[in-house]
Structure 1
Amino acid sequence: MAFSYDQRAFFQLNGYLVASDRIPLPLIDKVQSLVRREIDEKVQPYRLVGGEVSRLDQLWDRDPLYREIIEHPMLLDALQDILGPNIEFLTRRHNHVTLNGPRHQVPGRGGAGFHRDSLQWSRPIVTVLVYLDESTVETGATRLIPGSHHLPYVAMPSDGGGGNHLAEHEEYAGYADQGLACELPRGGVLLFNSLLFHSAGINRSPTDRMSITLGYRSVDELQPTPPGYAHLVRGRAIYRGNDADATRPKWQGDIFSGHDAPERG
């Protein structure tokens, strides 16, 4: 997979892209069977809604089969067109599989409710949704507000969590009416800016809809990543802070001439 220049510009302007390729269905089958088994056996860590397991957390540290999705070449190729060649997978944001079904609706929230995955622009993230089931309006397709990643930060969330909720701030009044449902096939992949307001729709079908939520970022060239916060999944863990200048060739004008060249003025 490769995104064109126009597609990358679309992502920057509108905040999302649908991948044209899909994760192979044989892999989707195996992962979905694993999820069902771990839910039945209540393999920790997990989250409950109404006494039912609605989410399995910390996918990276669970069965290695999950990493076949997280590090799938098709997915990383798509991310590279947006993030560049050096990519980290985040363990402290997303990193879970979710069930969206009649038993898992949060009362009064209308699905998950429009929200951002990040509070502000301090740590740009690409959120990736991989659909283990077909995502339709009937089964609660993900809803997006195109361009809403450009809306400014206004306040902290009341629940103290990451990101923010659209409905809590009058400055965002009316934007919920601009939400669009994004339907994808089984194995489909949706990528969006973590500041884009989005929501799971209400699943009105009799069956659950299962999806994996992942977070990626470019390697931070100015701040080395602490152990355990992220994993390098493509490229190199580069560091380009000025304090590393002593280990680089010195320069004079536009010509690099080795460590014995004059220091910068």
Structure 2
Amino acid sequence: MQLDRYGVLEGKPDDTALDTMDEEVRLLGFTTLDAGLTETKLDQLSDLFDRAASTYRVRAAEQGLDLKSIAENDTIRLLPKEEPAFWEIVFNKNLHVLLNKLLGGYYILNQVNGLINRGNGSEYHQSKYHRDLPYQHFTSSRPLAINALFALDPFTLENGATRVIPASHHREAFPPGTLVSRNEKQVTVPRGTFIVLDCMVYHAGSSNRSKRDRRAINHVFTIPLIRQQLHLPSTLGEEVEFTESQRRTLGYGLEEYRSVDEWLASRAGMAS
């Protein structure tokens, strides 16, 4: 869509829908992206999510862990390890076309966690405004990390859809409360949609006032300079089959060498 204008010497032309989404994230800090999944597939993933949540809780209990007491009751860490079908969401084609635009050709998965925003107004640990690179107060000319929040259930005003402070990734400090209340936006989307955020934009969940839990999957992708929440190559091992491109995205090949001898041995292996 070409807009009338004058006195403008530079600008970016409209191109594909993904190009527009790329610009939305850069300018506003967020966009939405349809994952392209069928209702049948979403129903299957919904059942698998609930099964993963159950087995995750059981295993924690067997280890003597009270997830609620350590504020982990609403999270399934590394969800695809529990149910491998969720790797399909991690490596969603539409998402990675957009990630390539935002982060360049080399980025890694920092974390992938199932999230449960429980119904009936229960306390939700993501309901406070935050950045997904927490405790950081700086701006960057391009994204360093992207959050792709996958809506397994619809995100509605009633069930606690994500709130965003548009363009706050361009400001170092958290903005004044009056400004936030005037400008925050609650992002409602149908199930099967990614809410794609620059990780430096301030955002928060909301209280789920409905009677049903609202489920989502949080994916954070970063430039390789940023360490993973869990070291995925160690956690996943070599047994799971991934393509070379997928292995790179999961952080394989980014070993942290513990000695000069290890470094020299790795260089010798590359040369052979």
Query: Which runs of structure 2 are paired with 1:64-75 in the superposition (5 Å)?
Result: 64-75=84-95
Matched residue of 2:155: which SS? coil
1:114 and 1:176 in contact (8 A); partners too = no
Indicate yes or no: 2:127 matched with 1:117.
no
Give 1:173 deviation, angstroms. Answer: 3.5
Q: Equivalent residue for 1:102?
A: 119
- Select which of 109, 112, 130 maps to 1:89: 109
RMSD of aligned Cα (Å): 3.6
Structure 1 residues 50 and 226: CA distance shift in structure 2, 3 A: closer
Match of 1:228 in 2: 231
Distance 1:6 1:195, change over 3 A: same
- C-alpha change, 1:97 and 1:4, in structure 2 (3 Å) is closer
Q: Map Cα deviations across residues 95-150 of structure 1 (whole Å, 9 max, x no partner).
A: 2111112367328x7x6121111133589210011011011101111111101111
Structure 1 126/226 Cα, relative in aligned 2: closer, same or farther at 3 Å? closer
Gaps in structure 2 of 5+ consecutive residues: 1-15, 61-65, 234-246, 255-266, 268-272
Identity %: 21
TM-superposition CA deviations, 1:15-74 (whole Å, max 9, x none): 111114534433322222122123234254694379994221122433212212111222
User: Could you give the per-residue CA deviations for residues 83-104 of structure 1, whole angstroms, max 9, x where no partner exists?
Assistant: 222231113xxx2111112367
| Pairing 1:218–2:230 present | no
SS in 1 for 2:144: coil
Change (3 A) 1:51 1:3: closer
Instruction: Establish whether residue 129 from structure 1 lines up as the match of residue 149 from structure 2.
Output: yes
Q: Which has the higher strand share?
A: 1
Q: In 1, distance between residues paired with 2:52 and 2:186?
A: 29
* Per-residue deviation, residues 133-180 of structure 1 (Å, max 9, x unmatched): 011101111111101111215xxxxxxxxxxxx5xxxx6433431211
What's the CA shift for 1:13?
1.2
Q: Are 1:16 and 2:36 an aligned pair?
A: no
2:178 equivalent to 1:174: yes
Letter in 2 for 1:37: R
Q: In 2, Cα distance between the equivalents of 1:104 and 1:79?
A: 34
Question: How many residues in Structure 1 have an aligned counterpart in Structure 2?
Answer: 215
Match of 1:187 in 2: 192
Q: Pick closer, same or farther for the CA change 1:24–1:80 going to 2, 3 Å.
A: farther
Misfit runs of 4+, over 6 Å: 49-52, 223-227
Q: Could you tell me which amino acid in structure 2 is paired with residue 190 of structure 1?
A: I
Q: Give the direction of change, closer, same or farther, for the CA distance of 1:17–1:44 in structure 2 (3 Å limit).
A: farther
TM-score (norm 2): 0.66
Structure 1 unmatched runs, 5+: 154-165, 239-246, 248-265
Note closer, same or farther for the CA distance 1:151–1:32 as it changes in structure 2 (3 Å cut).
same
- Residue 115 of structure 1 aligns with an amino acid whose one-letter code is H
Where 2:100 maps in the other structure, the secondary structure is helix
Comparing both structures, which one devotes a greater share of its residues to helix? 2
Which AA in structure 2 matches 1:198?
H
One of 42, 49, 54 as aligned partner of 1:28: 42
Shift of 1:218: 3.5
